[in-house]
Each structure stands twice: as C-alpha cells, then as structure tokens.
Structure 1
Amino acid sequence: MRTVIRVLRKFRPVFQYRANFIYNGSAKRRDFWPDTNHRSIYSLSGSTYIHRCKHESYMIHRAISSDAAKVTNKELNRGGPLVEYERRVAAGELLDGDSCQLNTLGELQRLYDELVENAEDCRLDRYATSKKDGRSRWLWSRFIPQTSYAPVKGLYLYGGVGTGKTMLMDLFFYQLPCNWRKKRIHFHDFMLNVHSRLQKHRGVADPLEVVAGEISDESILLCLDEFMVTDVADALILNRMFRHLFRDGVILVSTSNRAPDKLYEGGLQRDLFLPFIDALQERCIVHQIGSSVDYRKMTSAEQGFYFVGKHLSSLLKQKFQQLNGEQIAVPQEVEVVMGRKLQVPAGANGCAYFPFEELCDRPLGAADYFGLFKKFHTLALDGVPIFGLSNRTAAYRFVTLVDVMYENRGRLLCTAEGTPVELFDRIVTIADAQQMAPRTSSRSRKSDDSDICVDNELGFAKDRTISRLTEMNSTEYLEQHAEIWAQKRLSDNE
C-alpha cells in the first residue's frame, strides 16, 4: 500500500496548479512604531548628573579584500539576498560590509538558489499545495505514516552579538517569493505560539505531532531569530516537535549566539535534548559568522539621555509625563496569551510606566512582554539593579524583556544602578569563573563569591543584552522606532 502511495505522490504535482514565482527585488520588511524627539533613558553610574554620548556612524561597514565574493553579470539577472545586498550598496543605501558578512550572504544566496530550484519538491508554493486541517492530517497519518524530508538542508547561523545575524536573515527572507509557505518569527514568540497550540489540543494522544502538522501546513520554510533554550520544558518540546517538523519537510533557517552543541549547555535533563542537536546538525548547514565588529555599537550623532544615580525616579516620571502630552496616565490592563492579563501601573499615549520589581521580580515571561508591546510602544522602567546571584531570576526576565522590546522596536526609558556593562558585571559563564584569579584574602573571596552568579546561559545572553541596550539608545534606532510607530498608526486609522 505504501509503495502505491509513494508512486501516486510522485505524479501528484502534474495535476496541481503550478504558480509562477514573482520577484520584484524590492521587498522589504517594515514593522512600524513614534517620535524621535524623545530619547531613551537609563543610568550610567552612581553620581547625580546627566551624560550625553556620541558614537561612530551606525551603518553596515565593509572592507572588501581581493578574495572577497563578487557578483557576476549572470547573478545580477536573478534574485536573492546577495544580489539585493549589492543593489543596495550600489544605490548607496548600505555601506559595504565585512568579509564575514559576505561569506554568510554567500551561504544565504546558495540556500535561496537551491530553494528556487527545488520549490516544487519542497512544496513551498502555498497555492499549489492543498491545505489540510492539522487534526485531520494527524488522523490520516495514523493509518498511513508520511515521512517527507526536504531535499534542501536549512541553515543555522551563529556568531557574537552585533555581527548582523538578524539583518542578514531578514535580507534573505524578504527576497523570497510572496506565494511561498514561509514564516519569520522571533524564537520567544515561536515558543509562545507552540504552547498556545498545545493548550488547544489538550487530550490528544500526541499533541506535539498535531502542532507540528499545523506549523508545517502553514510554513514549510521556518526562519527563527535568536534561537536559545533556557527552559527544560522548552528543551523537551523542541526535541520531539522538530522530529515531526523535519519529517514533514520543514526547512529551518535560524540565527543564534550559540553553536548547536552549546545550546542548553548545563541544562536539566540535557541528555534528552541531545537528539535534537543531532537532528539540527543533520538537517541544517551550520555556519559561523566570525565578524569581530559589533555594528550595533557603531552609532553616530547624539545618544539619548542617560539618567545617572539610584534616586532619579522623579526625573523619569517627569519625562514619562512629557511623552504622554495632555493625556493622564492611569492603570491599565493588557491581555496576553491563554486568557492571562497583565496589570500596567500607569499608561497613556502608547507609553507604560513600571517599577522594575513589578515587571521583572514577578512571575512574568515572554508572553506578558509581547502582550505589553502590542499595546505600548514605549516603556519607562524605574530602578534596574546590578544583577548577581541574589536576583538571577530577575536578570533572566530583564534579558527576555529587552529581547522582546528590541524585536518590536520598542523605546526604553529607564533609571539603573550602572551602565549596561556594569549591570551584568557579576554574571559570568563557567569558563569565565575558572579563569578568574583567586583573591589573597579569604574575606574578599567570600564577598566576591556571594555576589558572582555563575550561569552559562545568562553569561552568554548578557553580551546580547548589553549590545541591544547600547543600540536602543542610538539615534538610528530611535528613528526606526518613530517611523515604525507612525506607519502603524497610519495603517490603524485607514
């Protein structure tokens, strides 16, 4: 019976509609958010005055060596991320990037070309593929197991903070034909969606298989930004779910700060997660972006105000009231996934105010933060502390909050006890802790040990958070924020 079905499946494309791929070479991702007149705020030190800082120009920068990749005339006649990149450079929209970014663009272009060539076998065209309900697909698979690995391997990009991973993946994703079954989503948001679907399919024998079937029906090409695993429940879900997804033909393109074999390092029951790492390396080509340049720090012009000192709550509230204009900030309620609600102490005109403790010292997570930034574009956060062993959980939540805010191009105003670097100075990885020189005094060693938090996941995540906090105070980021929100308000009024 299975042999007959395999033969029939080979002839199925003959009877299906074959849509033409449309590519105009100009597709861009534009999310939208307001007002560059007000800049981000956070504290730099324990003194009581305000700094203004200037940084170098924030643009994609490149020094092409003689052996760097070049686009031929034949390549210019087709589409893809490398071709679009060269077009933007020629048009003056981007300055040339470094050789590491060019090598990564070469990998993305190769994947793009393979996908275009194998689009039919990969079942990428949404109009040429019949849409099946996830549950019925699951029931059908009970009788006739269906395994259809994609003929094209995905791509797993990893590298240090600020190397342009997200920009490069977006450049790839938004050059793909619009009729393809594709999805680009932040990893936090993806896992929230998975948990929501699992809740909906409670009672099914294998709800993860149903969820995987739904995801693969919607998106054969799945692009996940900032892949990271810190939770044991997520680790177990990923292992089982991606086994189904890969068998359903899903192609994964992902960015991460960590190499695959470093994911969930030191996590609980990691041995149960290891099969996922093997599957990931089997179904994806792993590519490291080796650039040592942090482009997010190459910002120009005047930075936002930095509030200095621990006791500047009144100054933050004053700035918050200025942003609200004539509107009066009042307590509000935000709906998040699965019926939960987040209480906002004060909000008006798209701006929300929170003491740090109420947003990061309570049992909140990515779902709550995504819900917050669906309604508000600016967050005034009062009293970010120095992180260490005593408030490690709050540090994890703050890292997640910054990730969600950055993904939504939200604006941050805050007071803190130190610079972004100082906030995380006591958070170290195991390797960092082993290299730390021992103290000569037992008293100082005891004091240091009580403050230092040795945590691999948080130790790796802190560099990303520091870099993002730096960029979020740049003129360019705030201009993007203003443009995105202005366009969003315009579309809401139409």
Structure 2
Amino acid sequence: MRTVIRAVRQFRPVSRYRRNLVYDGSMRRQDFGSNVNHRSIYNLSSNSDICQCRHPWHMIQRAISTDAAELTNGELNVRGPLIEYERRVSAGELLDGDACQLGTLGELQRLYDELVENAEACRLDRYATSEKAGRSRWLWSRFIPQTSYAPVKGLYLYGGVGTGKTMLMDLFFDQLPSNWRKKRIHFHDFMLNVHSRLQKHKGVADPLEVVAGEISDESILLCLDEFMVTDVADALILNRLFRHLFSNGAILVSTSNRAPDKLYEGGLQRDLFLPFIATLKERCVVHEIGSAVDYRKMTSAEQGFYFVGRHLSGLLKQKFQQLIGEHEAIPQEVEVVMGRKLQVPLGANGCAYFHFEELCDRPLGAADYFGLFKKFHTLALEDVPIFGLSNRTAAYRFVTLVDVMYENRARLLCTAEGTPVELFDRIVTIADAQQMAPRTSSRSRKSDDSDICVDNELGFAKDRTISRLTEMNSKEYLEQHAEMLAEKQQQPLHDNALESSS
C-alpha cells in the first residue's frame, strides 16, 4: 500500500474548486463580450469545449483514489496537501483538473513532509518554543550573536494569473498542525504590518532586526500570497528584513506572478534590491506553475454588477439603494493603520459608495483599502476610466484596490468606461511595446500612442486585475459572497444563544 500512496503522490493532478465544471490546458480560451441585457460584462460561450484532463495515469489513479483516501485516516496516518486532495476527490468536493499543477502539488507535499520530519529542529511547535519578546531577543543578540537557519528550505511558487497558486498554498496551509507557529497573509498586508512595527520601534539602532525577531517569534513559517514589489520603500527594506528573518530560522512559502529575477524589474535603486533576490533563491526552492488556462475567467458571469458605460451612474445608485434597503446612506469614516482615517462619502448596511477619483486619485494605499473593507463588504465605484500614461498612478491604486477586495472577498459594483480588458489596453510592458507595429496614420498615432503607458510592473499586474475583475463579476463569486454574509449574520445570533444558555 505504501507503493500505492507513492504512486498517488507522484501522478495525481490537482484540480480547482469549480463545482460542476472541469478544465484543463487543452481547453480553448472563451470568447467574452458585453451583455447589456443581463447588465453584466461576461457570458460564457455556449459552444465552448470543456474537457476533463486525462493524465497518462488517470485510470490507475481513479482505481486507487478511494484506497488512498481510506489510508489517510487508516494504517499509515499520513497527511499533507496531496493526501487532502485525494480525500476531497473521494468525498466529491473536488474534480480532477489541470495536470500542469501536478509538479506544484508534489513540491508542496515534499515540503510538508520535510517540515513534519524536522518540526523540532525548525522550532515549529509554539508551545515548545520559548516566548521571548522581540526587544529582549534583540538585546540578548547584542551579547551573543545568534544565527539559526532552518534545516528546511521554503518554496517560492510563481506563474500566470488564475493558475491556482493561492488555492494550492491554502491547501498546504490548512494541513499544517494547529500548534505550529505559522501565518498565512497577503503580501500587501504583511508589509503594512512591518511598517507599523517599524513605527513602534522608532529610535532603536536596528528596528528591522527587532521587527524580524517579533515576526519570527510569532510565526516561524510565513505563507505570503501575491508577492509583488512595486514600492521603493518596501524594496529597500526587504533584503535586510528577510536576512534577519532567515537567520532567525524563518521559512518562507510564497506565491507570485513574477519569477524572482523579475521582481521589482526597472524599479528605483533596484541594485540595492538584488541581494534580496539572491537570498530568496538561496533559502527557497523556486518552482513555476505552468498552465494555459485562467480558471477565474471560466466562471459563469450572468449576474454581475459591472456596468460598461460611464453614463450609467443612475443605475449604479439604484443598485446601491437596493443593497442598503431601508438604511440611510450617510458620510462615515474608517480607521486605518497609524491613526489615519479614511472618509467614506456614503455608507450604510456594509456598503460604501465612492467616485473613482475619491478612492484612486488621492494619495491612498493598501492600508486605507484594508481599513475600508474591515468595515464594508461591498463597494460601489463610479466612473472607472480607461488607464494610460495620463493616469498611471491611479491605475496602480486601482490594481491595489482590486487586490485588497479580492483578498477580503468583497463585492464590487461599478460603472466603467470599458470592459476590464479595455481598461488596461493602453498599459504595456517594455517587451510588448517593442513588438507593437508602428502606426501608418499620424492621426491614429496621436490619438492612441500618446497615452500608451510602458510600465513593466503595471503591465504584468494588469492581467491579474483583469482576471480578478472577471471572477468578481461571476455568479459563483457572488454566491460565495452571499454565503459569507449569511455566516457573519448568523454568528451574533449564535453568540447570543451561548450567552443566554450560560
């Protein structure tokens, strides 16, 4: 039976959560278009081919999947992301999917097994680890320098949008023992936390060392989703921060759209960032997830709230009013990090209403957006423009806004000048710009090329944003959002019942 488990681990492909649909790399990309009648930007093509992935070992896997799932709780007592995948397949929670993710699942299972085997050496058990405060640890290290690299290397997963990076990492994280010092967090949120800690330790000789000590004391295993460096302040501190973290024994598991060598490409003072890339590749196994399919674009999108046409603000206000019901929308404010406050023009019943300029044309960032969605679950955004050279900064903020919304599973209502693809049509990478054919008409050159924005970071980020906007408009996403709200509404009732019974 051990041979059976090894066969399953080596050859079983990983799938996606997609209820009744199964996709693989052989599927053709769907044709999408605006549908005014359904008030939604996308509809799946009715004659699209949807095929199951047929790995060479598919039939063998099917025959042994039930046995593997039984062994999970049986004689071998094995666990891990690959075994959990088998259990979910047997339970009907997952269907077989993209074979391109097979190697990634194997890497995650390998890392899981190494962590379990070296749990004591890695100091993963929070109850067996001495609880030293970050500042005390720092003072002690002044007298006795301590370097303790983990015996296990981390994992850096990168690939295109919609290839399943986040799902795979969550599958891995959920299987880790609850008593381990671990944290799963979005990279934006992680860096906000770092900057907040740095403020707290202002005046210390090396505040980054203190912050790294605090973080590694709390979580020796860091799972960072969507690793993307665009801010020069972040770029300048990452090398020293992670050098301290790794020397404290921290283990990094990260997902990204960019290969390590492409991080912060073309950024200011990038030469100071390059040592971090070397450190990252030294302390992590780098693995690319290859896939020809963006699964987020495969969801059915017949009931979304993305309205193409900036003249539809009246419809947006009408939908907003329907969502807040009998509640009165009034100006509100939310607290963000370091004591700042964000003014909300209109808010009621968990829904906030902004004009695009109020949220993306002002000096706001991830901290403000995280604060916003801690209080509100729905955003109505009016007049999203087509992006180009003239509003590049607003485009960056919009990308960050969508990332934060997606991380918080928030709902978006908006009016926009074009579809998600059209919004970013003028944003191109350097490579794209070099391949663009010269215009033959001086008029078209003036009207189109003058606002072309050549920006590598934004050019790569736009695909992720287009993909997420598409999924956020889908029926499946909106159903998940409704389920999340229902669970939150039930929680106070459950808590009150517990209080009454006690």
TM-score range, shorter chain: 0.7 to 0.9
Are residue 153 (structure 1) and residue 142 (structure 2) matched?
no
AA partner of residue 98 (structure 1): D
Rounded Cα–Cα distance in structure 2 between residues aligned with 1:200 and 1:435 = 48
Are residue 174 (structure 1) and residue 164 (structure 2) matched?
no
Secondary structure at the counterpart of residue 180 of structure 2: coil
Partner residue of 2:56 out of 51, 54, 66: 66
Show structure 2 runs of 5+ residues with no match: 1-32, 496-502
AA partner of residue 145 (structure 1): P
Rounded Cα–Cα distance in structure 1 between residues aligned with 2:85 and 2:152 = 23
Equivalent residue runs for 1:71-470 within 5 Å? 73=68, 76=72, 77=76, 78-300=78-300, 302-470=302-470
Deviation at 1:443, TM superposition (A): 4.2
AA partner of residue 486 (structure 1): A
Rounded Cα–Cα distance in structure 2 between residues aligned with 1:110 and 1:390 = 47
Relative to 1, partners in 2 of residues 1:372 and 1:492: Cα closer, same or farther, differing over 3 Å?
Answer: farther
Partner residue of 2:44 out of 33, 39, 55: 55
Deviation at 1:62, TM superposition (A): 5.5
Match of 1:488 in 2: 488
Secondary structure at the counterpart of residue 414 of structure 2: strand
Rounded Cα–Cα distance in structure 1 between residues aligned with 2:349 and 2:208 = 40
Instruction: Please say if residues 68 and 86 of structure 2, whose CA atoms lie closer than 8 Å, have aligned partners that are also in contact.
Output: no
Deviation at 1:94, TM superposition (A): 1.1
Match of 2:7 in 1: none
Deviation at 1:300, TM superposition (A): 3.0
Deviation at 1:54, TM superposition (A): 3.1
Instruction: Please say if residues 45 and 418 of structure 1, whose CA atoms lie closer than 8 Å, have aligned partners that are also in contact.
Output: no
Relative to 1, partners in 2 of residues 1:258 and 1:62: Cα closer, same or farther, differing over 3 Å?
Answer: farther
Rounded Cα–Cα distance in structure 1 between residues aligned with 2:41 and 2:137 = 58
Rounded Cα–Cα distance in structure 1 between residues aligned with 2:393 and 2:492 = 37
Instruction: Please say if residues 296 and 467 of structure 1, whose CA atoms lie closer than 8 Å, have aligned partners that are also in contact.
Output: yes
Secondary structure at the counterpart of residue 467 of structure 1: helix
Deviation at 1:491, TM superposition (A): 2.8
Deviation at 1:449, TM superposition (A): 2.9
Show structure 1 runs of 5+ residues with no match: 1-43
Deviation at 1:73, TM superposition (A): 4.6
Deviation at 1:55, TM superposition (A): 2.6
Rounded Cα–Cα distance in structure 2 between residues aligned with 1:209 and 1:250 = 13
Rounded Cα–Cα distance in structure 1 between residues aligned with 2:126 and 2:44 = 45
1:396-432 C-alpha deviation (Å, 9 max, x unpaired): 0000000000000000000000000000000000000
Instruction: Please say if residues 346 and 353 of structure 2, whose CA atoms lie closer than 8 Å, have aligned partners that are also in contact.
Output: yes
Rounded Cα–Cα distance in structure 2 between residues aligned with 1:51 and 1:337 = 35
Match of 2:30 in 1: none
Secondary structure at the counterpart of residue 129 of structure 2: coil
* Alignment: residue pair count: 449
Relative to 1, partners in 2 of residues 1:238 and 1:61: Cα closer, same or farther, differing over 3 Å?
Answer: farther
Instruction: Please say if residues 47 and 309 of structure 1, whose CA atoms lie closer than 8 Å, have aligned partners that are also in contact.
Output: no
AA partner of residue 53 (structure 2): A
Deviation at 1:48, TM superposition (A): 10
Instruction: Please say if residues 403 and 465 of structure 1, whose CA atoms lie closer than 8 Å, have aligned partners that are also in contact.
Output: yes
Secondary structure at the counterpart of residue 120 of structure 2: helix
Instruction: Please say if residues 309 and 416 of structure 1, whose CA atoms lie closer than 8 Å, have aligned partners that are also in contact.
Output: yes
AA partner of residue 113 (structure 2): D
1:137-162 C-alpha deviation (Å, 9 max, x unpaired): 00000110100000000000000000
Secondary structure at the counterpart of residue 333 of structure 2: strand
Equivalent residue runs for 1:32-47 within 5 Å? none
Deviation at 1:45, TM superposition (A): 6.7
Using the size of structure 1 for normalisation, the TM-score is 0.87
Instruction: Please say if residues 40 and 473 of structure 2, whose CA atoms lie closer than 8 Å, have aligned partners that are also in contact.
Output: no
Rounded Cα–Cα distance in structure 1 between residues aligned with 2:291 and 2:166 = 14
Instruction: Please say if residues 161 and 463 of structure 2, whose CA atoms lie closer than 8 Å, have aligned partners that are also in contact.
Output: yes
Quick one: percent identity of the two aligned structures?
84
Secondary structure at the counterpart of residue 254 of structure 2: strand
Deviation at 1:119, TM superposition (A): 0.2
Rounded Cα–Cα distance in structure 1 between residues aligned with 2:203 and 2:294 = 47
Rounded Cα–Cα distance in structure 1 between residues aligned with 2:228 and 2:105 = 22
Deviation at 1:489, TM superposition (A): 3.0
AA partner of residue 54 (structure 1): N
What is the root-mean-square deviation of aligned Cα atoms in Å? 2.1
Instruction: Please say if residues 301 and 473 of structure 2, whose CA atoms lie closer than 8 Å, have aligned partners that are also in contact.
Output: no
AA partner of residue 274 (structure 1): L
Instruction: Please say if residues 399 and 462 of structure 2, whose CA atoms lie closer than 8 Å, have aligned partners that are also in contact.
Output: yes
Secondary structure at the counterpart of residue 478 of structure 1: helix
Secondary structure at the counterpart of residue 307 of structure 2: coil
Deviation at 1:56, TM superposition (A): 7.4
Rounded Cα–Cα distance in structure 1 between residues aligned with 2:492 and 2:370 = 19
Structure 1 residues 425-434 or 440-449, which shifts more? 440-449
Rounded Cα–Cα distance in structure 2 between residues aligned with 1:302 and 1:441 = 39
Rounded Cα–Cα distance in structure 2 between residues aligned with 1:124 and 1:51 = 47
1:433-476 C-alpha deviation (Å, 9 max, x unpaired): 00001112344334333110000000000000000000001111
Instruction: Please say if residues 56 and 299 of structure 1, whose CA atoms lie closer than 8 Å, have aligned partners that are also in contact.
Output: no
Instruction: Please say if residues 305 and 412 of structure 2, whose CA atoms lie closer than 8 Å, have aligned partners that are also in contact.
Output: no
1:238-292 C-alpha deviation (Å, 9 max, x unpaired): 1110000000000000000000000000000000000000000000000000011
Rounded Cα–Cα distance in structure 2 between residues aligned with 1:443 and 1:47 = 31
Relative to 1, partners in 2 of residues 1:246 and 1:61: Cα closer, same or farther, differing over 3 Å?
Answer: farther
Deviation at 1:102, TM superposition (A): 2.0
Instruction: Please say if residues 216 and 249 of structure 1, whose CA atoms lie closer than 8 Å, have aligned partners that are also in contact.
Output: yes
Rounded Cα–Cα distance in structure 2 between residues aligned with 1:392 and 1:51 = 26
AA partner of residue 250 (structure 1): A
Rounded Cα–Cα distance in structure 2 between residues aligned with 1:336 and 1:67 = 51
